[in-house]
Amino acid sequence: MKLRLAAFLLALPLAAAQIPEEKLEASIQRKLGRPYVWGGAGLKSYDCSGFVWRALLDAGVLLKRTTARKLYFSLPEARAEERAAPGALVFFDEVHHVGIVRNDREFYHSSTSHGTRRDRFHPYWQRLVSGYRKLQ
């Protein structure tokens, strides 16, 4: 029974386009300022993929909790016009780091040195971008 339930949950379509932007933003805002902890996906600390997973889960998107690299290869590529859409995922550093796009200038992530935060796509981050993925 557990196996069938797990297979069903993994087969659910992702409906990111149906999630109100304000619901995702509220979920993210509640997590900002939390410390980085490797493997963290709880309510008090996060690693980068744990932050993405928890923020999306709290906003109503079911994703398998996994690493940034596995997440990158499991989702479809975002077209150029989808990359700046709120909720798109942005991957950095040869897909070892992931964040959630806020708009064409900013994204959210869990930084090892600063914890969960909003950052700008300034030249440091722009040169590290590996790609973008969409949730549907």
pTM for the structure as a whole: 0.85
Q: What is the pLDDT of residues 35-44, one digit of tens each?
A: 999 999 988 9
- Name which of 119, 123, 30, 135 is nearest 76 in CA terms: 135
Q: Domain spans of the chain?
A: 2-133
Give the CATH fold of the 2-133 domain.
endopeptidase fold (from Nostoc punctiforme) (3.90.1720)
Q: What is the pLDDT of residues 5-26, one digit of tens each?
A: 333 334 344 444 466 789 999 9
| CA distance to 14, 71, 84, 131, per residue, from 76 (Å) | 11, 10, 15, 11
| CA distance to 7, 66, 84, 88, 113, per residue, from 45 (Å) | 28, 16, 26, 22, 13
Q: What is the pLDDT of residues 89-134, one digit of tens each?
A: 999 999 999 999 999 999 999 999 999 999 999 999 999 999 999 9
E strands present in 14-125: 89-92, 97-101, 106-111, 115-120
